[in-house]
Structure 1
Amino acid sequence: MNLFNLKGKRALVTGGTHGLGMAMADGLASAGAELVITGTTPSKMEDALKHYRDQGFKASGYLFDVTNEEDAKKYVDIISKELGDIHILVNNAGIIKRELAITMPVEDFRRVVDVDLVGPFIMSQLVAKQMIERKEGKIINICSMMSELGRNSVSAYAAAKGGLKMLTQNLATEWAKHNIQVNGIGPGYFATSQTAPIRVDGHPFNEFIINRTPAARWGDPEDLAGAAIFLASKASDFVNGQVVYVDGGILATIGKPSNED
């Protein structure tokens, strides 16, 4: 299975200190990649590095905000000098602010777009420069089902994730000639600490997701590992500008009547 072997590769995962970012980083490291994790909270970084190292993974961590262009450039340079080239970039860092569009402060809208769209552009531009010199690289943007669908109260998030899908396609178009593949992963609804309060039996949203998903369950974070490994490895060398939706089939169906088994 050498197509999926990531030994000798260095993967930078933004926001890899918890949640789905950590699950994807676990997958990449299990395939042999060295991890470089970014975050903004020291305590989360400390816990994350312990988590990775306890599993025997080689992992380093750097604290900076991916929306700060000067800091991002400084730390990408530091990472390159201290560890070496970045072969895989996973643009996972993101935020969401749930607010109806009619009342959402413009400042909040801008912040979501800044983190979820501008941040991936900054990091991709910085890392792609060394990838172009090397004539090889993998960039994985973490999109969303909101890259395709609308939903009540997430206008800023959907706008950013829709933009990230199109950024993925445009960067793939520009950089394919340098043997750089730029693709995305679109997670569905996953069982994480953030969704725990609404995943209890009897909660309306829990019932909605189970009924709306053909797989009839929430995703396990580990379900993302395979897609991440595939898009980071030689197995995807002729896959470019695509978004792989890991959603249990939600986007494949209009749904089913409530009385249908």
Structure 2
Amino acid sequence: MWTPETYSFKCIIDHQVIFCYFLYLHQIEFGVDVTKKELVLADVIDNDSWRLWPSGDKSQQKDKQTYRDLKEITPEAMQMVKRNFEWVADRVELLLTSVSQGRVVVLMGSISDLVHCEKIKKSCANYGIPCELRVTSAHKGPDETLRIKSEYEGDGIPTVFVAVAGRSNGLGPVLSGNTAYPVINCPPLTADWGAQDIWSSLRMPSGLGCSTVLSPEAAAQFAAQIFGLNNHLIWSKLRSCTLNTWISLKQADVKLRECSM
């Protein structure tokens, strides 16, 4: 089954984020199991199936070729092979972590918006992004809103603010006008005034750069795309989601054609 974890390895190779010293890349072959409707990898990716030449220097190779090239099997030679594979194992661990961390902070104008905000948090979790929920009103307590905002500035952690406020949205513009971090408006829609309330999120004063995304899941995806510029794990999960969407569309197209015949 295709998962973000299996896809992340190829993404890292493609972007040369960590293994930028690969001179030879093992090819990945895959296909679609039409019975189970799954994407299946048809190859093995491990320390035995690649060539590692740090800085492109073949004399520094760390892969199994060092063992193949041994003229004599001695304890010293085996220690060298062991050190090489320990070096490789340390680098492989980097595939599971990211130097660039980030977080999404969702500020809601009222606790009544909690269900809407929980959807954003759940979607952030799918991308591996920590998400915090806070309650504050830019209209009723602007000083407290700016104080909460300041909690997430200055600690070096990249942050995206999501403002959830219906009716007259002052939360997003106030945040955007007082921080250099990205701000996403994600107003909850209501049956009575939803269409009219959206304009308070769309019509921003000059000098403000906050965007507006109506779907809570799409707001989380937008934040993930921002973090994905510098975080290879999030980037990989975004790519796998794109691939899964493409597969779903392809399956729907095939099914429709079969029904039409």
TM-score, length-scaled by structure 2? 0.39
TM-score, length-scaled by structure 1? 0.39
Larger RCO (CA under 8 A, 6+ residues apart)? 1
